[in-house]
C-alpha cells in the first residue's frame, strides 16, 4: 500500500468516527474550559495575596539560581520516567486492537496525539512559570517584563522538551531500563548541582549553563539579558531538535508497548474510580515488570518459626536492592535532619516524614500480604496481626542501622544540635513508632473503606468529602511526623529528654497492639 493510499484510508476511518460518534460541539467544549478558567481565576484572585507572600519567602532570584536548575532536572527526570509506565501517547485498549492492529499508518495514528502532548507540555510548563512569577513578584518585589516572559518561555520550552524524552522512554524497553538505572545517579547530580550553585558565582554559572534545566531559569536568576537570551535560543534549538526526532519516530513504539500502557491505564482508572490506590499502582507497575525466574537471595532458611517472616522479607528485599538504597537515602536524610535540626519542630516533622518514606519502601512484602490475605492463612500458622507486626523487623533493622551510621559523622562534625547521646537514643527509639505507622498505613491496602466513603459523601465536610478523603490518606504519615518529630523535638528542650523517651517508648506499644489486632480483609 502506498503512503498516499494509507493516508487516505486513515482519513476515511476518521470520517467514519466523525459520523458514528460526532464530537461535542465547540461551544460545549469551550464551556468546560470557561468554567475551569473562571474557577481558577476567581480562586486565584482570592488567594493571590496570601499565596504570593507565602511563595515569596521561598522563591527568590537567589533560590531560583541555586535550586531552579536541579528542580527542573528532577522534573525532566520524572517526566521521562512517566514514559516507563504511560507516556505521552496512550491509546484505549480497543484502539490498540482495531486501529493499531489494522493496516493504518502507525505514524498517522500517533502523530496527532504526540502533537497534543507537546501542546499540553508547553501549557504545563507555562503554568509552572506563572506560579514561580507569583512568588517572585511577592512582598513588594517586581519582575522585569522581559525576564518574566523569558521565564515563561523557558519553562514552557522545558515542558515541551519533556515530551520527546518521555516518548523515547515509552518507545524503548532498553531506554526505559537504562533510565531506571541512571535515576539515582541523576538525583545525586541534581543534589550536587545545588551544592555547586551555592559554592559561588563560578559554580552558579556552571550550573546555569549545564543544560536545558539551567537555560530555562536564567531569565530570573540574575543573568544578563543578552546571555539569558542566548540560553533560551539554545533551549529552543534543543527542544525543536527533540520534537523533530520524536515526530520522526512516531511509528517506533511497538504495538505491545501500546497495549501494555492501554491495559495499565484501563486498570488504574477503574481502581482509582473505586479509590483503590494500591490496585492502580499495581496496574501501572505491571507495564515494566519482567516476570520470570527470580534469583535466589542466598539468605539461609531460619530454624526458628518466629524468623520465617523476617527471612521472607529479607529474601524479597535483597532481590530488589534498589529499594534498600532508596530506604537508606530517605532514612539517612531523615535521620541527619532530625539530628541536626530537631530544635526546629517543622524540621523534626519533615525528618520523621522522610524516615517514614524510607521505612515504607521496605514494607512491600507486608503490602503483598494484605493484597492476598489468604496466603497468610494458608502458609503461616501465626495470627494475621502478628504476621503484620513481624513484617516491620527488616525495615526497622535497616533504617536503624542507617540512622546509627549517619549519627557518627554528624557527631564527629559536632553538628548534632544538642546533647548528642540523648538525641541519638531518642532518634533510634522513635524508629519503631515510624515503622508501625508505616505498617498501619500499608495494612489499609490503599483501599478506602466503605464507611469512610459514606462519611465523606454524606458527612458535614463542606468540601464535599475531599477533606475527609485527604485526612484518611495522610493520617498515618501525619501521625508518624507528629509523634516521632515531637519526640525528637522534645529531646532538644531543657527538660524534655525523659518525656521524649517516654513518648518514643509508649507510642510503639499502643500502635503495635492496634496492628496486632488486625484481621484479614
Partner 1 sequence: MGAAAAHNAPVDGAPPLETDGLGRDFGELAALRDFTLTVAPGECVALLGANGSGKSTAVRTIAGQLEPTHGTVSVCGHDPHHEPDAENARELLALVPDNPLLYPDLTVREHLQLVATVHGVKGPDVEDLIDELLERLAIADRQDFQPAQLSRGMRQKTQLACALIRPAGLLLLDEPVVGLDPLSQRLLRDILEEAKEAGIGVVLTTHQLAFADGLADRALLLDEGRVTASGSFAEVAHHASQLGWFGE
Closest CB to partner 1 among residues 93, 113: 93
> Could you report how far apart the first and last alpha carbons of the chain are, in Å?
56
Among 42, 181, 199, 255, binds partner 1 (CB under 8 A): 255
Binding part of the chain for partner 1, among 7-15, 319-327, 443-451, 480-488 by CB under 8 A, reads 7-15
Closest CB to partner 1 among residues 102, 346: 102
| Grid cell in block for residue 447 | 483501599
The answer to the question of residue 321 lying near partner 1 (CB under 8 A) is: no
Angle between helices 420-443 and 321-341 (to 10 degrees): 130
d(CA 246, CA 404): 48
> What are the φ and ψ backbone dihedral angles of 276, each rounded to 5 degrees?
-105, 90
Closest CB to partner 1 among residues 7, 277: 7
The answer to the question of residue 94 lying near partner 1 (CB under 8 A) is: yes
Site pattern 132..151 for partner 1 (x: CB under 8 A): --------------------
The answer to the question of residue 422 lying near partner 1 (CB under 8 A) is: no
The answer to the question of residue 102 lying near partner 1 (CB under 8 A) is: yes
Closest CB to partner 1 among residues 5, 454: 5
The answer to the question of residue 112 lying near partner 1 (CB under 8 A) is: no
Nearest to 86 by CA among 368, 291, 315, 284: 284
Closest CB to partner 1 among residues 48, 98: 98
The answer to the question of residue 118 lying near partner 1 (CB under 8 A) is: no
Nearest to 102 by CA among 1, 171, 249, 246: 1
Min dist CB 300 to partner 1, Å, is 23
Min dist CB 193 to partner 1, Å, is 35
Min dist CB 292 to partner 1, Å, is 3
Among 55, 75, 80, 104, binds partner 1 (CB under 8 A): 104
The answer to the question of residue 248 lying near partner 1 (CB under 8 A) is: no
d(CA 469, CA 452): 7
Nearest to 167 by CA among 208, 116, 123: 116
Min dist CB 433 to partner 1, Å, is 38
Place of cell 490506590: 277
Among 34, 98, 116, 509, binds partner 1 (CB under 8 A): 98
d(CA 483, CA 434): 8
Closest CB to partner 1 among residues 107, 484: 107
Min dist CB 390 to partner 1, Å, is 30
Distances, alpha carbon 430 to alpha carbons 169, 323, 416, 496, in Å: 40, 22, 17, 14
CB neighbour burial string for 107-144, b if at least 16 within 10 angstroms, e if fewer: bbbbbeebbebbeebbebbbebbeebbbbbbbeeeebe
Give Cα 347 to chain centroid, integer Å: 21
d(CA 171, CA 166): 9
Min dist CB 107 to partner 1, Å, is 8
Among 7, 9, 211, 465, binds partner 1 (CB under 8 A): 9
Min dist CB 12 to partner 1, Å, is 6
Distances, alpha carbon 121 to alpha carbons 4, 117, 178, 202, 516, in Å: 31, 6, 23, 32, 47
Closest CB to partner 1 among residues 99, 349: 99
Among 21, 174, 296, 495, binds partner 1 (CB under 8 A): 21
Contact 348, 299 (CB under 8 A): no
Min dist CB 391 to partner 1, Å, is 26
Closest CB to partner 1 among residues 99, 328: 99
Binding part of the chain for partner 1, among 16-24, 352-360, 446-454, 496-504 by CB under 8 A, reads 16-24
The answer to the question of residue 245 lying near partner 1 (CB under 8 A) is: no
Closest CB to partner 1 among residues 177, 344: 177
Give the helix, strand, coil percentages of the chain, each rounded to 5.
80, 0, 20
Binding part of the chain for partner 1, among 103-111, 337-345, 377-385, 448-456 by CB under 8 A, reads 103-111
Q: How many residues form the binding site for partner 1 (CB under 8 A)?
A: 34
Nearest to 192 by CA among 78, 59, 80, 67: 67
Among 53, 56, 60, 105, binds partner 1 (CB under 8 A): 105
| Grid cell in block for residue 436 | 508501625
Site pattern 428..467 for partner 1 (x: CB under 8 A): ----------------------------------------
Closest CB to partner 1 among residues 252, 308: 252
Place of cell 475531599: 466
Helix (H, G, I), strand (E, B) or coil at 447: strand
Contact 394, 358 (CB under 8 A): no
Contact 335, 359 (CB under 8 A): no
Among 22, 103, 140, 414, binds partner 1 (CB under 8 A): 103
Considering only residues 257 to 316 of the shown chain, the ones binding partner 1 according to CB under 8 A are 259, 290-293
Most distant pair of Cα atoms in the chain: their distance: 84
The residues that touch partner 1, with contacts defined as CB under 8 A, are 1, 3, 5-6, 9, 12-13, 16, 20-21, 92-94, 96-99, 101-107, 251-252, 254-256, 259, 290-293
Amino acid at each position: 500500500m502506498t503512503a498516499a493510499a494509507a493516508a487516505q484510508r486513515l482519513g476515511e476511518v476518521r470520517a467514519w468516527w466523525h459520523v458514528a460518534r460526532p464530537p461535542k460541539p465547540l461551544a460545549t467544549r469551550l464551556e468546560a474550559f470557561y468554567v475551569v478558567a473562571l474557577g481558577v481565576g476567581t480562586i486565584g484572585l482570592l488567594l493571590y495575596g496570601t499565596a504570593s507572600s507565602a511563595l515569596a519567602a521561598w522563591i527568590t532570584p537567589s533560590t531560583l539560581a541555586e535550586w531552579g536548575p536541579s528542580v527542573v532536572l528532577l522534573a525532566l527526570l520524572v517526566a521521562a520516567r512517566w514514559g516507563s509506565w504511560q507516556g505521552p501517547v496512550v491509546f484505549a485498549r480497543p484502539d490498540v486492537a482495531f486501529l493499531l492492529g489494522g493496516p493504518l499508518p502507525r505514524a498517522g495514528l500517533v502523530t496527532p496525539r504526540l502533537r497534543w502532548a507537546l501542546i499540553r507540555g508547553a501549557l504545563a510548563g507555562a503554568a509552572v512559570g506563572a506560579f514561580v512569577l507569583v512568588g517572585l513578584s511577592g512582598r513588594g518585589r517586581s519582575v522585569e517584563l522581559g525576564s518574566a516572559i523569558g521565564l515563561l518561555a523557558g519553562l514552557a520550552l522545558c515542558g515541551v522538551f519533556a515530551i520527546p524524552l518521555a516518548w523515547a522512554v515509552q518507545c524503548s524497553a532498553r531506554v526505559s531500563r537504562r533510565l531506571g538505572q541512571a535515576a539515582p545517579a541523576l538525583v545525586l547530580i541534581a543534589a550536587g548541582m545545588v551544592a555547586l550553585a551555592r559554592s559561588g558565582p563560578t559554580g552558579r554559572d556552571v550550573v546555569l549553563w549545564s543544560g536545558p534545566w539551567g537555560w530555562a531559569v536564567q531569565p530570573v536568576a540574575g543573568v544578563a539579558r543578552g546571555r539569558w537570551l542566548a540560553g533560551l535560543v539554545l533551549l529552543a534549538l534543543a527542544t525543536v531538535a527533540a520534537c523533530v526526532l520524536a515526530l520522526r519516530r512516531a511509528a517506533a513504539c511497538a504495538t505491545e508497548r501500546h497495549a501494555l500502557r492501554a491495559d495499565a491505564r484501563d486498570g488504574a482508572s477503574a481502581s482509582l474510580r473505586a479509590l483503590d490506590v494500591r490496585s492502580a499502582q499495581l496496574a501501572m507497575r505491571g507495564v515494566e515488570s519482567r516476570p520470570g525466574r527470580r534469583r535466589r537471595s542466598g539468605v539461609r532458611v531460619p530454624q526458628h518459626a518466629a524468623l520465617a517472616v523476617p527471612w521472607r522479607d529479607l529474601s524479597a528485599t535483597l532481590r530488589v536492592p534498589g529499594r534498600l538504597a532508596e530506604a537508606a537515602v530517605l532514612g539517612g536524610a531523615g535521620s541527619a535532619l532530625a539530628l541536626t535540626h530537631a530544635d526546629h519542630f517543622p524540621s523534626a516533622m519533615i525528618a520523621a516524614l522522610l524516615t517514614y518514606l524510607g521505612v515504607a519502601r521496605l514494607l512491600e512484602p507486608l503490602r503483598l500480604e494484605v493484597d492476598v490475605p489468604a496466603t497468610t492463612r494458608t502458609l503461616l500458622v501465626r495470627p494475621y496481626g502478628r504476621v503484620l507486626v513481624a513484617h516491620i523487623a527488616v525495615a526497622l533493622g535497616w533504617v536503624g542501622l542507617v540512622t546509627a551510621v549517619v549519627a557518627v559523622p554528624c557527631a564527629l562534625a559536632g553538628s548534632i544540635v544538642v546533647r548528642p547521646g540523648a538525641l541519638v537514643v531518642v532518634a533510634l527509639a522513635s524508629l519503631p513508632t515510624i515503622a508501625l505507622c508505616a505498617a498501619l498505613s500499608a495494612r489499609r491496602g490503599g483501599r478506602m473503606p466503605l464507611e469512610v466513603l459514606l462519611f465523606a459523601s454524606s458527612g458535614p465536610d463542606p468540601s464535599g468529602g475531599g477533606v475527609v478523603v485527604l485526612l484518611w490518606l495522610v493520617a498515618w504519615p501525619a501521625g508518624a511526623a507528629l509523634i516521632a518529630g515531637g519526640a525528637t523535638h522534645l529531646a532538644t528542650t531543657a527538660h524534655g529528654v525523659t518525656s521524649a523517651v517516654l513518648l518514643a517508648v509508649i507510642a510503639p506499644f499502643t500502635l503495635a497492639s492496634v496492628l496486632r489486632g488486625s484481621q484479614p480483609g
